[in-house]
Amino acid sequence: MFQNNEVTGLLTEGTFFEGHLRFNGVLKMGGEFKGSLESKGTLVIQEGAKVEGKILVDTVIVSGHMINVEIFSKKKVLLQPTAVVKGFIETAVLEVKDGALFEGSIKKIKQSI
């Protein structure tokens, strides 16, 4: 899904970050995050990760937990089978794999170029 973008950031398991984070490319998150994220790239929430806050990115791939979140995605949000998401999602494309859990509201937008 993100073969044209190399991983440019990593927040590994056992790491906690609170605040505002901006990145380019692909950020893989396996630890805990509370705050806001901003990028025109891809955010990968790995299984075991816990995220809370406001997310403004082009693409989000979720395998972990996102609680009390607002996700604003210009392209796509993918909820993998292990994903648990509670909050608001605004996106052009939402794909939910069997087993994923979502509680909240969704707003569909036109995909930006």
One digit per residue, the tens of pLDDT, for the chain of length 113 reads: 445 557 888 889 999 999 999 999 999 999 999 999 999 999 999 999 999 999 999 999 999 999 999 999 999 999 999 999 999 999 999 999 999 999 999 999 987 65
CB neighbours of residue 69 within 10 Å: 21
Strand partners, 15: none
For the chain, the structural domain boundaries read 24-108
pLDDT at position 30, please? 95
